[in-house]
Amino acid sequence: MAHDIHIIGGGLAGSEAAWQLARRGYKVRLSEMRGGGDMTPAHQTDGLAELVCSNSFRSDDDEKNAVGLLHHEMRRLDSIVMQAGEVARVPAGSAMAVDRDIFSAEVQRALTEHPNITVVRERVDALPDSGPTIVATGPLTAQSLAESIVTATGSDRLAFFDAIAPIVHRDSIDMSKCWIQSRWNKRTEASNEDGDYINCPMTKEQYEAFHQGLIDGEKTEFREWEKDTPYFEGCMPIEVMAARGVETLRYGPMKGVGLDNPYDTTEEHPQGRWPYAVVQLRQDNKLGTLWNMVGFQTKLKYGAQIELFRTIPGLENAEFARLGGLHRNTFLNSPVVLDRQLRLNKAPHIRFAGQVTGCEGYVESAAVGLMAGMMAAEEMAGRDWTPLPRETAMGALLSHITGDADATHFQPMNVNFGLFPPFEERVHKKARKEAYTNRAKESFGRWLEGMERVPA
Ligand SMILES: Cc1cc2nc3c(=O)[nH]c(=O)nc-3n(C[C@H](O)[C@H](O)[C@H](O)COP(=O)(O)OP(=O)(O)OC[C@H]3O[C@@H](n4cnc5c(N)ncnc54)[C@H](O)[C@@H]3O)c2cc1C
């Protein structure tokens, strides 16, 4: 079958993109290397849309949770991932969990039975020179294709250990204990007026207890195949640094020099003394709602992270938009190399979708695949794409990866309310999550009405 568009990668994003295009009447060639003699180090089967680790699509609460809201929007767009998820659903409280084999089989059935989709079990080794293409090869993109992407984008490398440091919601930080200042008050043109870092000071006792907590905390182990991948820019998990000696962090990411603690003033230091140690947070998005714990990439287990990081002064009630982690990943510096419609700036016939664009998570990857499929369909129909409003979950995620994130420190991101534009009027904290979802649903409904409805 001659095809209108080539999709590379039959994971969550590629499968969803194929479905969206096929439903709109476009003929799709879907190339998946598993089943054609190749495998990734994490996949176990040849099935399309295989879930490589947990079986959870996380919260299904579309009233108070950002990923639940993403489920809602995807359902409204007839997502195959959400439909197959319903078929494969297993009990998991307010979360949506699935039987991974049934889920994958259901996606595969829907795609292979669709007359507009041809699934070809083949590895693609280079980006096509022409013709509409969607690349959705995921965090474990095969080496040859990764090299071709590196050449096309001009990046120096694509696969590395993802140094994920935790991200904290700004409004959960207790600013009566922390202050904003850049070390030595250094400024650049892009600096905020007061400084660029939130500083959480620690006394000697607090630091020593914290250091011990890092040493004792439960860690996740590297898998065998992860052992050969280099760290990204020499980044080191914080607990590995801590294990080198009690002072190592005080000369590294936790050094207090050049920071004047306004809560610790003396006659000699009216501006404030330098803290014994400090935890710094750096703004992570343009909205200023999310702050990244600088240098805190970690392999501590999630429960251990929450417990330990909430002992940091000012973070006692911290809410984490994302916790730290370290695993092999492959992703583009999307804010720089992609346009707002996920097209490669240097080769706009190629779109990217899924985790390789710098989103994080099964649902997010599928959502970006869904958007890429819709965008490609609109383009092939000769219509202008109507941008998704920023207040929607899909719009917020897309805005983040295609431009709003800080490109110099770009890291994969889960959907969360910190990516949504804040309210202009004051909304009480308790009512905020519901207010976000109400606003998003209204906005999404208007956007959907404006789009041409597609017959199922
Ligand atoms: C080890 C690991 C564990 C993870 N655990 C979770 C988790 O528990 N929960 C969660 O929400 N997210 C998790 N993620 C993150 C992410 O959500 C998943 O990786 C998700 O599957 C990404 O979807 P995707 O469609 O972008 O990529 P994938 O689902 O990986 O799909 C990409 C597809 O492309 C194929 N492919 C690769 N290169 C080529 C090529 N050159 N030619 C043809 N086909 C190719 C692959 O075989 C694969 O089928 C994990 C990631 C990793 C690496």
pLDDT confidence of residue 359: 94
Q: How far is CA 92 from the centre of its chain?
A: 23
Q: Whose CA is closest to 402, among 350, 349, 359?
A: 359
Residue 50 vs residue 330, higher pLDDT: 50
Give mean pLDDT, residues 372-388.
Answer: 96
DSSP-H helix ranges across 219-361? 238-242, 302-309, 334-337
Domain membership of residue 98 (yes or no) is yes
The Cβ-side half-sphere exposure at 42, using a 13 Å CA radius, reads: 18
Q: Report whether 368 contacts 398 (CB < 8 A).
A: yes
pLDDT confidence of residue 456: 43
pLDDT confidence of residue 429: 85
303 phi and psi angles, rounded to 5 deg: -60, -40
Which of 302, 328, 354 marks a domain boundary? Answer: 328
> Cβ(13) to ligand 1 under 6 A?
yes
> Cβ(136) to ligand 1 under 6 A?
yes
Quick one: pLDDT band at residue 233, thresholds 50, 70, 90?
very low
Residue 210 vs residue 425, higher pLDDT: 210
Domain membership of residue 454 (yes or no) is no
**Does 454 score more than 60 pLDDT?**
no
> Cβ(52) to ligand 1 under 6 A?
yes
| 51 and 143 together in one domain | yes
Residue nearest to atom 5 of ligand 1 (CA): 53
Token pair of 361, please?
């998570």
Give mean pLDDT, residues 423-452.
Answer: 93
**Does 292 score more than 70 pLDDT?**
yes
Q: Candidates 140, 161, 220: which one to mutate for ligand 1, based on the most atoms within 8 Å of Cβ?
A: 140
Measured CA to CA, the distance from residue 403 to residue 41 in angstroms comes to 31
| 199 and 247 together in one domain | yes
Domain membership of residue 137 (yes or no) is yes
pLDDT confidence of residue 160: 61
Question: Is 9 annotated among the ligand-binding residues?
Answer: yes
> β-pairing, 5-8 with 117-120?
unpaired
The residue type of 108 is Q
Token pair of 35, please?
């089943």
pLDDT confidence of residue 225: 53
Query: How many domains is the chain partitioned into structurally?
Result: 2
Look at the pTM and tell me if it is higher than 0.85.
no
Domain of 287 in residue numbering reads as: 164-328
Quick one: pLDDT band at residue 234, thresholds 50, 70, 90?
very low
| SS3 at position 180 | strand
pLDDT confidence of residue 369: 98
Cα Rg of the chain (Å, integer): 23
Residue nearest to atom 35 of ligand 1 (CA): 9
Give mean pLDDT, residues 52-81.
Answer: 94
| 144 and 16 together in one domain | yes
> β-pairing, 89-90 with 179-180?
unpaired
Give mean pLDDT, residues 258-274.
Answer: 94
Name the strands in the sheet holding 95-98, side by side, starting at the edge strand that comes first in the sequence.
56-59, 95-98, 89-90
Mean pLDDT score of the chain: 91
| 20 and 71 together in one domain | yes
Considering the chain, what percentage of its residues have pLDDT values greater than 70? 94
Give mean pLDDT, residues 83-101.
Answer: 89
Which of 274, 294, 328 marks a domain boundary? Answer: 328
Measured CA to CA, the distance from residue 224 to residue 292 in angstroms comes to 29
> Tokens 């219509």 identify what position?
383
Give mean pLDDT, residues 165-182.
Answer: 94
Least confident window among 147-156, 303-312, 338-347, 405-414: 405-414
| 183 and 307 together in one domain | yes
Considering the chain, what percentage of its residues have pLDDT values greater than 90? 72
Question: Is 154 annotated among the ligand-binding residues?
Answer: no
| 260 and 142 together in one domain | no
